[in-house]
Amino acid sequence: MTHMFPRWTNHLPTAVAVGVPLLGVAVVLGVYYFFSPYYTDVGYEPTQPVPYSHALHAGEMGMDCRYCHNTVEYAAHAAVPPTSTCLNCHKYVKANSEKLSLVRQSGETGEPIPWVKIHQLPDYAYFNHSAHVGAGVGCVSCHGRVDQMEEVWLHEPLSMGWCLDCHRNPEPHLRPVSEVTNMAYDPVAAGYDPSEDPNRTREVNPPVHCAGCHR
Amino acid sequence: MTRETISAAGPHNPGRRNFLSAVGATVASLQTAACIRKPYEKILPYAERPEDLVPGEARHYATVWNVGGAVQGLLVRSTDGRPTKVDGNPNHPMTGGSTIWAQASVLSLYDPERSKEPVREGEGVSPDEAVGFLKKLPDEIGDGSGLAVVVPELPSPTADRLWEDIRAKYPKAELYRFDGAGTDHARAGAAMVGIEGAAWTTDGTPTVIAAFDADPIGTEGDTTAFTKAFAAGRDPNRKPAEANRLYVVEPHVSITGSNADHRMAVKGSEVGDFLAALAHHLKKGGLNVPTLDAPKDKLDSKFVKALAKDLLSRKRGSTIVMVGERQPAHVHALGFVLNEALGNFGKTLRFTKQGPTEVGALSDLVRRMNDGSVKQLVVMGSNPVYEAPADLNFGELFQKVPLTIHLGLYRDETGRLATWHIPQSHYLESWGDLRAREGTTAIQQPLVAPLYPSLSPIEFMARLTGAESKGYDLVRATHQGAISGGFDKRWQRWLHDGVVDVGQAPSFVPSVKTDGLAAAYKFRAERAQGLELAFVRDNAVLDGRFGNSPWLQELPDPITKIAWDNAAVVSPNTAEKIGVPNNLEQSSVRDTVMVDVSVGGETVRLPVWVQPGTAEDVVVLSLGYGRKHGGKFAKSGFDVNSLRTAESPYIRSGAKVTPTRKGYAVACMQPEASMHDRPIVRDATRGDFTDEPNFVEKFEVMDEDHVASLLWDEPEYTAEHQWALTIDLNSCVGCGSCTVACQAENNIPWVGKEDALKGREMHWIRIDRYFEPKHSDQVEVRYQPMACVQCETAPCENVCPVGATVHGPEGLNNMAYNRCIGTRYCSNNCPYKVRRFNFFHYTVRNDADYGMGIAMQRNPDVTVRYRGVMEKCTYCVQRINKARIHAKVNGDGIIPDGTVKTACQEACPADCITFGNIRDPDSKVSHTREDPRNYAVLSELNLRPRTTYLAKLTNPNPDLAEG
Amino acid sequence: MDMRVSRDPVDRRPLLVNPPTDYNGVTEAVAAPIEWKTPMGWWIFFLVSAVFAAMYAGSTAYLIWEGTGIWGLNVPVAWGWAIVNFVFWVGIGHAGTLISAVLFLFRQKWRTSINRFSEAMTIFAVVCALSFPTIHVGRIWLLYWVFPVPNQMGAWPQFRSPLLWDVFAVSIYGTVSVLFWYTGLVPDLATMRDRVKSKVAKFAYGIFALGWTGSTRHWRHYETAYMLLAGLATPLVLSVHSVVSFDFAVSQLPGWHTTIFPPYFVAGAIFSGFGMVLTLMLVSRVIFKLEHIVTMHHLDNMAKVVLLTGMIVGYAYGMEFFIAWYGGNEYEMFAFINRAFGPYWWAYWSMVSCNVLIPQVLWFKTIRHNVAALFVLSIFVNIGMWFERYVIVITLSRDFLPSSWDMFYPTVWDWAALLGSFGLFFTLFSLFVRFLPMVAMAEVKSVMPESDPHHEPDETEAAKQPATATAGGAS
C-alpha cells in the first residue's frame, strides 16, 4: 500500500497518550494560579480622585488609623471618613492646595468624594472589622504596610482560601489588641503568645463553617 | 445612578455600600464562576455623616400606625437611612407581635406606583401649584356650607384638634367618616343603646369568647392585642375555669372561626337570630336582658343552650360576646346589652372617651350629594369610589360635585375622578400621633423624609384651615399643653419609647338603655330564599387598600390557601347544588370553573372554590380585589363591590350562581388538605391532656429505641451555643405574620401567580393548614408553621455534590448560596420540603416589577440569591452572627438567652415561637422542649430536628361533645 | 436453490445464512453502505434527526438563558424529565458493552454480527445521557465544581453525594466504551483506508487506523488489548447503573429508598438496551441488506434476552410491593399504593404492560421470528422503560407531609428536550452507519467456515442439512 503518512507519525499515538493528560494538568494549574486573586488582584492600585497619601498621614505624621476609620472597632465597616473629617484639619492646613480642591468642593456642595474601592469582597461574604480588631488581628495582616503606601494598593488576595488559612490557624496572626493599628509591630519578632496575654478574656476561635461568613 | 436614589431619600443618604450590596449581589455571585478581577466599584462616603449614624449598622426607631382605627405601636429598623423592617413595639399596650399589614407596610413605602405628584383634572402639576391652590382654598370654601370632608378612621389627638380648628373656621362644614376597615355598624349599634363618643376594645383574657360573625383574630379590631390575649388564655397551665373556650357563629370560615373550639356555620342573616336566642336563654338564666323574639329552631339550638350555660357558669365579667362589623347595628346593640348583663363592661370590654362625635356616615353624605348641597368635597385617605356599595353610585355623584379633592397614597379610583389629587405621605414619612382604643397615645415619627412631594393627613388638615405648619410642629403643639415644663426631655422619651406617658383617654363604664332595642330588633318575617352572599374583608388585602403589595397578594389565605385571587367560596354541598365540581376532590385541585354570581341585576364572573366549613347556601366573596387603578398587583382577582348595597353592605340574599364553561386556575398553595392520618399535627382535648400528659407519644409510628440506632457516627455538636426553636401549636392562630416577616427580613422574592400556580412559592416559613375535606359545613382546622427544622442528621447535606449545605458547629444547617449549583437533590431528600429553589431569576424579576424600590427595602445583612440557587430558613443566622460578634467583642462570647430573636418569632402575635440555646438548661427554649407536649414532626426518620412542636389542645364543651 | 451454511466452530450452529463466498465477500457487503453514493433515504433520515438535535440545542440554550423554570419542575417535584431521560439513556447504553464485553468473554460467537452496532449505540446513548444531568443544574457555568480540581476557595466536592458518584461512574463508563469500540474498529478502519478512493477519506481513515498493517504482531497486540478492555468493561456494566440507581436508593424518600434498586436497575438497563438494539437492528439489517449476517438466529437470541430481563424487571416490580407491605412502613406502603392507584396510575400501568405483560409473547417462536412483531415489541419496551423511570421520579410528587404534595405537568420545553435527545441520538447514529463499518468485519470473518481449522470446502455439505438451513430462517 502507498505510504500516506511519514514514518515519524508512528510516534504520534504515544505522544498524544502522554501529552494530553499532561496538558490537562497544566491547564488546571494554570487556571489555579493565573485566574486567582493572587495573580489578578494583588497589586491593584487604581488612581484615586484625591491624591491622598497614607504614607504621609499614617506614616510620617503617624496618625492613628482610627482617626479616620473610626467605626472599625464597633462596626462591620471601617467606614471611609466623611469629607468633614478631612476638613477638620484642611480647613487650616493647605487650605488652598490645588490637590484638595475636590475635598473643599465636596465640603461645600455635600457631594461625596468618589473614592475607588480597593479591598473588595464579594457581597455574599460578610466581613466584620470589629470582630477581627477585637480579636487582635492587626490592620497590617490584611492591608499590608499602608503606612508606607503613597497610593493604597491591594496587598493580599482576599480570596476564600486565603481567609481560611488564617481562620484555621489564627495564632501567628494575633497581637495585643493595643497593637492592632501598629503597622510596624511583628508578633513573631515580639514573641507574642496569645495564650499568655492577660487582656484576653477568651480564646480566639474563628468560624470555619459556611455561615461564619456567608448568609 | 446611585445619586438619584440618594437624593430621593431626602436629607439622610441611604447606605451607598449596602444599597449597592443589595443590587450588586447578583453580579457578585457571578464572580465565583471565574476568578477574574472584581467589578470596579466606588465608595461614596458622606460629606457630612449624621452623628448617630454608623454606616452599615441598623438602628431602630419607634413609631405608630393604624388600620381602620386599630392602632399599633411599631419599631422600625433602619439601615443607612433606609427603613428595611417593621415590627411591633413591645412598649405599646396594643401590640403583641405585628400584623401581616404592618410587616408589609415597609414595602409599600417604596411602591413605585405610589402617587408621586399632585394632579389637577388628570394633569400632573408641580407641588408649588398644588400649594398655591390649597392657599386659595379657604376663600373658595367661605363659611363651609358647601364643604364636606370624608375622613378615615383616624384616632389622632392632633387630627381631633385640627378638626376643631376647621369647625371654627367653617362652622357649616360637615364631617363624614368612611373607612373600608371601619366600624360603622358597631358605632351605630352602640348609639342605639346610648353609648356615644367612645372607643372600645377587649381587655384581659376572657374565659368564654362568643364570636357572632366576628373576626377579632383576623380582620377586625385590635387583632394582635386580642390574639395575644387569646393565646395566653389557652395556656395549658391555666385552671379549667380560666382556660378560654371560643364559640364562633359565622357563615364563612374566618381565621377566628378556624381556631374555634365550637363553630356553627350559619347564614349571615341568621346570626342575629342566634344572638337573640342566646339572649333568651341568658334571661332564663337570670340575667337582666330585654325579651326579644327569636325563631323557634334557633331557640332549640343545642349550641346556643350550651353556650348560654357556659357563659353563666363562668365568673361574672370574665366572658365576652363579640359581634362582627358584618352584622347590622341592632345585632351589635344586643351584643352590648348582653356584655353589660354579663358584667363585662369595664372588665373584658374597655371603653375610653374619644373622637369627635358629630360625624356622619357615607350614606348621609350621598344624600347631600344628591341634593347638590355639597360644593367642595374633600376625601382624605380613603377610596369610596371603589369601596362604596354600588347602589350609592358614589362615583357618578362624586363627579357632579364642583370641586373634589382627594388625598391619598395612590392615585386610586377616587383620585382619578377627583378635581385635585394630592399625594399623601406614607406613615414612615410623616409626623403624627395616634390614640389606641385602649387610651394610650403614641407619637408617629418619620424614618425618612418623604420620597415624593406629599402631605401627611394632619398637614393636609392644617392646609384646609389655611395654615402651612409642618407635621412636626402640629404634633408638638398638640402635646405641649399636656405637661408643664421640660417638654423637650419628655418629648425625646416619648419618641424613644414609642408611647406618650400622659393624656391617656379616660376609660369609663357606660350604661346601656335597652328600651329602643326590642323595636329595633325586629326580624324580617319572610326568610330570604336562594343563595346568600357573604362579603368579607380579605385576610390579606383587607378592603383593597393593601392590594398593591406583592407580599400580601402572594401570602396564601390562611383558610383556602389561595394567593393572588379571590373566589366565590362555597361549601361542598352548595357546590353540588350549583352544579360545579368539587375541585378539592380532583387531582388538579387548582383547576376550577368560572361562575356568574348575579343579584339585583348585577353580575360578577369569578372562579368558584370549595371550602368545607362554609355555611350551606352561602357564597363567600372577599372584598378588595380586581382594582382598576390600584396598581399592577392590585388588579389581580375580581371586584365584587358592584353586588353590595348600602342598606346591607355585607350580607345580600336572593343571589343566583350559574356555572359557566370557562375554566380558571386558582393559585392554591396547598392542594392537599388532609393529614392522611399521619402524626403531623398532634392534638388532644384539655381533659385528655390532664389524664395523659404524654399523649404525644401515642402518635409515634415507631418505638424510640428502634429509631435511636444510627448507622453512622453520631454527629457532635460541641459549640457553646446550640440553637433550637419550638413552635406552640396551641397558640398559633395561622395569621401568617411570620411568613411576611421572614420575607421582609430575608430578602425573599415573590414569584407571581404564574409560578405560584406551578407550586414554586419561595416562602421560607409556610403555614400548613390541614382539615378533613370530607366534612361539609363542619370543619376542624389545624395550623402548623413549617420552616427548615435544622435536622442534626440532615438528609439534605450528604446528597449535595458540592457541599453547599453543611452543618455548623451550633447545630444550624447552613446554606451557602454562593456555593450552590442547583442540582435540587437536597430538596428531593428533604422530608419537610422546606427548601426553596430559584427556578427563575425571581430577584431580578422583582426588580423589574418594583424598580429600585425593592432594593432599598432589602436587608443588607442577607445575601440576595441568584437564579438556579436553593435557599431556605437558617434561623436568621445573620442575627445570630451579629449577636455572637457583639458578644465576642464586648465580652466572653456567650450570647444571653433572648438576645437573638428570629424574624418569625418577633412577628408572632400569639407568641408561639421560642428560640434559643439548648446548651443552656435555663433558656426558655430548653424549658419548652421539656414540655410534655413537645414532639418532633416525622420523628421516626431520626433526623433529630432542632425545631420541635408543642401539641395543640382543644377545649370543647362537654355538653357539645360529639357522638 | 443451493445454500451454503457456515458453522459456528464451537457448537456447530449456523451463524451466517447464505454468507458471501469468502472473506472478501464480507468486506464487500459491509463496506457497501459506506461506498454507495449517499442514498436519498439517508439524507432524509439524517436531516430530520438533525432538526430535532438542533431543537435540543435551541431549547437548552433557552434553558440556560432563562432558568430551569421553563420545565414543569416545582417543589416537591424538583427533578423532572431531565433525570428521567438521563436514566433512560444510560440504560440504553448498556446493551453495547454487555454484548461486546460479556458475551465476548463468554465466547458467544453470535455477538460478532451485532457488537459493533450496539457499541456505537451505547456511546451515542451515553452522550445523550450525560447531556441531561449537565443541563439540569441551576447554574451550569459552575458545574466544574463537581470535579476535584484545586481552587482558590479551598473547597472540594462532597464525595458522599451519589450525584458525584454518578459523575465518575458514567464518565468512566463512557470512556471505556469509546476505547473498546475504537479498538475494535482499528482493523476495519484499516480495511476502509485501503479501499476508499478519495484522498480525504483515505487520510481520515488512515489517521484513525493508527497505521494498522494486519501483521501478526498487530493482531496479537490487538487481541490482547481487546481482551483486557473486555475484562475492564464487564464490571462497569454492573457498576454504572448500580451507581445511577444510588441517586434514588441512597435518598430516604418512600419509593426511592430501596435496596432492590441496583440489581433491578441493571436488569432494566439491559432490558431497555436490547430493546433499543432490536429497534435499530431490525431496521438497518433490511435497509443495508445485512440479513445474511444479522440472521434470525441473532434476533431470536436477543428476543430471549429481552424476555428474560423483562421478567426480572417484572419480578422487581412485584418485590417492591411485597417489601413495602412486609416492611410495614406506612409511608413506603402509601408510596406504592399511590403509584398504582394515585394520580399517576396511568404511567404505572403503561410501564407494567409495556415491560412485563407484552414481552410475554416472546415465549412463542413465531413471534421471535417475526421481524415486524419484534419491531413493534421493541418499541413497546423502549416506551415502557422510559415510563419506568418516569414512575420512579414522579414518586416525588407525594412524600411525607401531605401539605407539600403537588403535581408535575411537563411543559413544551420538557418535550423539546426529550424529543431533541432522540434527535441527537439518531443524528450521531446516521453518521455512524454512513461513515463507519457497522459490522465488525474482522470478527465476522473469524466465525466463517473458512476460519474453521477443520474446514474443507465441500459443495455437497450444505445439501446434507437442508433442515438446519431452513431452521436458520432463509430469507
The average pLDDT across B441-446 equals: 94
C-alpha dihedral, A135 to A137 to A139 to A141, nearest 10°: -160
Q: Tell me, what's the pLDDT at C154? A: 86
A4 in contact with C, Cβ within 8 Å: yes
Q: What is the pLDDT of residues C46-67, one digit of tens each?
A: 999 999 999 999 999 999 999 9
At a CB cut-off of 8 Å and minimum separation 6, what does B595 contact? B568, B578, B580, B605, B606, B607, B608, B657, B658, B659, B660
Calculate mean pLDDT across residues B904-919: 95
Per-residue pLDDT, averaged over B2-8, amounts to 33
| Residue in chain C nearest A29 by alpha carbon | C150
Q: Residue B23: which pLDDT band, with cuts at 50, 70 and 90?
A: very low
| Among A2, A4, A169, the residue to mutate for chain C (most C Cβ within 10 A) | A4
Count other Cβ atoms within 10 Å, centred on residue B473.
14
Q: Is-contact B181 B542, C-beta < 8 A?
A: yes
> Does residue C367 carry a pLDDT above 80?
yes
Which subunits have 3 or more CB–CB pairs within 8 Å of chain A?
A: B, C
Hey, are the CB atoms on A4 and C202 less than 8 Å from each other?
yes
C295 vs C427, higher pLDDT: C427
Count other C-beta atoms under 10 Å from residue C218's C-beta: 16
Does A124 contact B814 at a Cβ distance shorter than 8 Å? Answer: no
Q: In the prediction, which pLDDT does B356 show?
A: 61
Pick B529 or A153 by higher pLDDT.
A153
HEC string of chain C equals CCCCEEECCCCCCEEEECCCCCHHHHHHHHHHHHHCCCCHHHHHHHHHHHHHHHHHHHHHHHHHHHCHHHCCCCCCCCCCHHHHHHHHHHHHCHHHHHHHHHHHHCCCHHHHHCHHHHHHHHHHHHHHHHHHHHHHCCCHHHHHHHCCCCCCCCCCCCCCCHHHHHHHHHHHHHHHHHHHHHHHHHHHHHHHHHHCCCHHHHHHHHHHHCCCCCCHHHHHHHHHHHHHHHHHHHHHHHHHHHHHHHHHHCCCCCCCCCCCHHHHHHHHHHHHHHHHHHHHHHHHHHHCCCCCCCCHHHHHHHHHHHHHHHHHHHHHHHHHHHHHHHHCCHHHHHHHHHHHHCCCHHHHHHHHHHHHHHHHHHHCHHHHCCHHHHHHHHHHHHHHHHHHHHHHHHHHHCCCCHHHCCCCCCCHHHHHHHHHHHHHHHHHHHHHHHHCCCCCHHHHHHCCHHHCCCCCCCCCHHHHCHHHHHHCCCC
Higher pLDDT, A154 or C26: A154
The number of angstroms, rounded, from the C-alpha of B427 to the middle of its chain's C-alpha atoms is: 17
Residues 6+ apart with CB under 8 A from B608: B567, B568, B569, B570, B575, B578, B580, B583, B592, B593, B594, B595, B657, B659
Separation in Å, CA B610 to CA B282, B530, B607, B756 = 36, 18, 10, 19
- Does the pLDDT value for residue C457 go beyond 80? no
**Separation in Å, CA of C276 to nearest CA in chain B:** 29
> By the CB < 8 Å criterion, does B887 face chain A?
no
Query: Which pLDDT band holds residue A142 (cuts at 50, 70, 90)?
Result: very high
- Please indicate whether, in this complex, the C-beta atoms of B47 and A110 are within 8 angstroms of each other: yes
B57-66, C25-34, C113-122, C153-162: the lowest-pLDDT one: C25-34
Which alpha helices (H) appear in B56-98, and where do they start and end?
A: none
- pLDDT at residue C368, rounded to an integer: 92
Taking a C-beta distance cutoff of 8 angstroms, is the pair B585, B666 a contact?
A: no
More confident residue, A147 or C448: A147
Element holding B205 (H helix, E strand):
none
In this prediction, residue C111 carries a pLDDT of: 77
CB-based contact, B798 to chain C, within 8 Å: yes
Residue range B230-234: average pLDDT? 94
C-alpha span between C323 and C336 (Å, rounded): 10
B and C: number of Cβ contacts within 8 A: 172
Which whole number is the average pLDDT over B694-708? 81
Q: Which of residues 153-182 of C touch A (CB under 8 A)?
A: 153-155
Residues 204-263 of B with CB under 8 A from A: none
Q: How many CB pairs under 8 A join A and B?
A: 152
Residues A167-172 have a mean pLDDT of: 92
* Chain A CA closest to residue B872: A215
* CA B407 – CA B409 distance, rounded (Å): 7
For B31, name the nearest residue in chain A, comparing CA atoms only.
A122
**Subunit contact B801:C157, Cβ cutoff 8 A:** yes
pLDDT number for residue C473: 32
pLDDT tens, residue by residue, B352-362: 987 666 788 88
State the nearest Cα–Cα gap between A206 and chain C, in angstroms: 16
Q: How far apart are CA B125 and CA B210, in angstroms?
A: 53
- Which residues on A lie below 8 Å from B13 (Cβ)? 112
Contact of B587 with chain C, judged by CB distance below 8 Å, is answered with: yes
Write the pLDDT tens digit of every residue in B427-441: 999 999 999 999 999
Cα distance from B604 to chain C (closest Cα, Å)? 30
Secondary structure of residue B823 in the 3-state scheme? coil
Section C221-229 average pLDDT:
91
Taking CB atoms and an 8 Å limit, are C211 and A9 in contact across chains?
A: yes
A54, pLDDT greater than 90: yes
Shortest Cα distance from B762 to chain C (angstroms)? 10
Q: Above 60 in pLDDT, residue B24? A: no
**Is it the case that residue B38 has pLDDT exceeding 80?**
no
Cβ distance A160 to C150 less than 8 Å, yes or no, reads no
Neighbours of chain B (3+ CB pairs under 8 A): A, C
- Chain A positions in Cβ-Cβ contact with residue C211 (cut-off 8 Å): 5, 9-10
Average pLDDT in chain C: 86
Q: Give the model's pLDDT for residue B879.
A: 95
Q: Which of C404, C409, C411, C414 to mutate: most B Cβ within 10 Å?
A: C404
What number is the average pLDDT over the span B388-397?
Answer: 91
Interface of B with C in 6-45 (CB under 8 A): 32-33, 35
Q: Which pLDDT score is estimated for A206? A: 92
Pick among A1, A10, A42, A210 to test the C interface (most C CBs inside 10 A): A1
Contact call for C152 and A32, based on CB within 8 A: yes
Distance from CA of A90 to the nearest CA of B (A): 14
Interface-testing mutation among C401, C405, C407, C409, with chain B (most B C-beta atoms within 10 A)? C401
Nearest to B666 by CA among B588, B770, B574: B588
In angstroms, the separation between the Cα of residue B793 and the nearest Cα of chain A is 16
Q: Which pLDDT belongs to residue C22? A: 72
A160: nearest CB among C153, C210, C211:
C153
Q: Give the per-residue pLDDT at C139.
A: 94
For residues B736-750, average pLDDT: 95
Contacts of B820 in chain C (CB under 8 A): 138-139
The per-residue pLDDT for range B658-669, each reduced to its tens digit, is: 999 999 999 999
Residue among A77, A123, A211 minimizing CB distance to B24:
A123
Backbone angles phi, psi at A101, to 5 degrees: -55, -45
Q: Min CA distance, A188 vs chain C (Å)?
A: 26
Task: Tell me if chain A has a CB within 8 Å of the CB of C205.
Answer: no
Cα C296-C301-C305 angle, rounded to 5 deg: 145
Could you read off the pLDDT of B145-204 as tens digits, one per residue? Answer: 899 999 999 999 999 999 989 989 999 898 999 999 989 999 999 999 999 889 999 999
Put simply, whether A148 touches C (Cβ < 8 Å) is no
Arithmetic mean of pLDDT, A141-150: 92
Look at residue B703 in the predicted model and tell me its pLDDT.
75
Question: To the nearest whole number, what is the mean pLDDT of chain B?
Answer: 89
CB-based contact C113:C295 (threshold 8 Å)? yes
Cβ separation of B37 and A202 shorter than 8 Å? no
Which pLDDT value is given to residue C109? 74
Nearest Cα to Cα of residue B390 among B366, B415, B368, B358: B366
Give the tens place of pLDDT for each residue, B541-581.
Answer: 999 999 999 999 999 999 999 999 999 999 999 999 999 99
For residue A18, the distance in angstroms to the closest alpha carbon of chain B comes to: 28
User: Per-residue pLDDT for B35 more than 60?
Assistant: no
DSSP for chain A, written as a single string: ----S-GGGGGHHHHHHHHHHHHHHHHHHHHHHHTSHHHHTTT--PPPSS---HIIIIIIS---HHHHSTTTTTSSS-PPPPHHHHHHHHTTTTTT-GGGHHHHHHHHH-PPP-EEP-S---TTS---HHHHHHTTB-HHHHH--GGG-SS----S---HHHHHHHHHS-GGGB--GGGTT-TT--TTTTT--GGG-TT--S------SGGGT--
What is the pLDDT, as a whole number, of residue C15? 57
Asked whether the beta carbons of residue B45 and residue A80 sit closer than 8 angstroms, the reply is yes
| Residue B875 confidence (pLDDT) above 70 | yes
Per-residue pLDDT tens digits for B841-872: 999 999 998 888 888 999 999 999 999 999 99
Nearest to B799 among C67, C68, C162 (CB): C162
User: In terms of C-beta density within 10 A (0-12 exposed, 13-18 middle, 19 or more buried), how is residue C24 classed?
Assistant: exposed
Q: Give the separation between CA A161 and CA B365, rounded to whole angstroms.
A: 72
Identity of the highest mean pLDDT range in A101-110, B132-141, B782-791: B782-791
- Give residue C236's pLDDT: 87
Instruction: Enumerate the residues of chain B whose CB falls inside 8 A of the CB of residue C334.
Output: 676
Residue C448 scores a pLDDT above 80: no
pLDDT at C427 over 90: yes
Option in B16, B41, B885 nearest A130 (CB): B885
- Cα B659–chain centre separation: 33
> What distance in Å separates residue A36's CA from the closest CA in chain C?
6
For an interface test with A, the pick among B2, B43, B820 (most A C-beta atoms closer than 10 Å) comes out as B43
